[in-house]
């Protein structure tokens, strides 16, 4: 049975870079946020978003992620409503993907809100990536062309590093990519030992 290794960390922690490094070793990686973005383009999800949030989050009939983010990160109940639309669809997609990788001893499931969504319960082991908050803010500002205020709202909508670490099996401190990669190699060795034991 394929083991699910959860990989998480706050926004801007560099978890996708770490996920890609795991992938370079031939390990199947599922990036939940990327898949959610694709799923949000489907007509079924678009209709559900229109029903809940109205046409104000659309520009020329195209979903504006910025407008939607502004609404959901200013109101926890709105974020919950969006998650109720997106999470079941991502879960269905992941279940199909998992079947396609049934021969793999383990896969990496990368998700920013692994704990908040409850998906951590499906994981056999969990890795948390941490990075100092200021570095995270700078990364997101450069990547998403957003405002500091909005980044802080998104950070505050997520669990803290302390909360994540308390429920994790491994922690990767991503202060430098070289150090983080060494941690990945260490984790892979431990996973191999566990695999041989089972």
Segment 50-105, tens digit of pLDDT? 999 999 999 988 898 889 988 988 888 898 899 999 999 999 999 999 999 999 99
Whole-angstrom Cα distance, residue 178 to residue 48?
43
Q: What's residue 196's pLDDT?
A: 83
Segment 115-158, tens digit of pLDDT? 988 999 999 999 999 999 999 999 999 988 888 998 998 899 89
- Comparing C-alpha atoms, which of 29, 21, 34 is closest to residue 5? 29
More confident residue, 24 or 65: 24
Contact 4, 107 (CB under 8 A): yes
DSSP, res 129: E
**How confident is the model over 26-36, as a mean pLDDT?**
95
Whole-angstrom Cα distance, residue 25 to residue 16?
15
Contact 130, 13 (CB under 8 A): yes
Q: What's residue 131's pLDDT?
A: 95
- Which residues are bridge partners to 30 per DSSP? 109
Q: Read off the tokens for 145.
A: 């062309």
Sign, Cα dihedral of 157, 158, 162, 167: positive
Q: What's residue 76's pLDDT?
A: 82
CATH number of 3-197: 3.40.50.300
Q: What's residue 61's pLDDT?
A: 82
**How confident is the model over 163-192, as a mean pLDDT?**
95
Whole-angstrom Cα distance, residue 37 to residue 53?
17
Contact 88, 45 (CB under 8 A): no
Residue 15 known to bind ligand? yes
Domains of the chain, by residue range, sit at: 3-197
- Find where tokens 């699910």 sit: 4
Residue 17 known to bind ligand? yes
- Find where tokens 């450069």 sit: 142
Centroid of chain to Cα 15: 8
Residue 130 known to bind ligand? no
Q: What's residue 197's pLDDT?
A: 80
Whole-angstrom Cα distance, residue 188 to residue 5?
11
Residue 118 known to bind ligand? no
Q: What's residue 13's pLDDT?
A: 95
């Amino acid at each position: 049975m394929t083991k699910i290794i959860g990989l998480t960390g706050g926004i801007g922690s560099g978890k996708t870079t770490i996920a890609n490094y795991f992938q370079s070793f031939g390990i199947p990686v599922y990036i939940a946020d990327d898949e959610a973005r694709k799923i949000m383009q489907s007509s079924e999800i678009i209709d559900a978003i229109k029903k809940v949030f109205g046409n104000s989050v659309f520009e020329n009939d195209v979903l504006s992620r910025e407008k939607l983010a502004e609404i959901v990160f200013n109101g926890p109940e709105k974020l919950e409503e969006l998650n109720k639309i997106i999470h079941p669809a991502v879960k269905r997609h992941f279940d199909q993907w998992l079947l396609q990788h049934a021969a793999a001893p383990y896969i990496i499931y990368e998700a920013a809100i692994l704990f908040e969504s409850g998906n951590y319960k499906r994981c056999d082991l969990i890795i948390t990536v941490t990075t100092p908050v200021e570095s995270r803010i700078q990364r997101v500002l450069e990547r998403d062309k957003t405002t500091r205020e909005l980044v802080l709202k998104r950070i505050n909508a997520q669990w803290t590093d302390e909360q994540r670490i308390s429920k994790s099996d491994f922690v990767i401190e991503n202060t430098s990519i070289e150090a983080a990669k060494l941690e990945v190699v260490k984790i892979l060795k431990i996973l191999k030992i566990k695999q041989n034991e089972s």
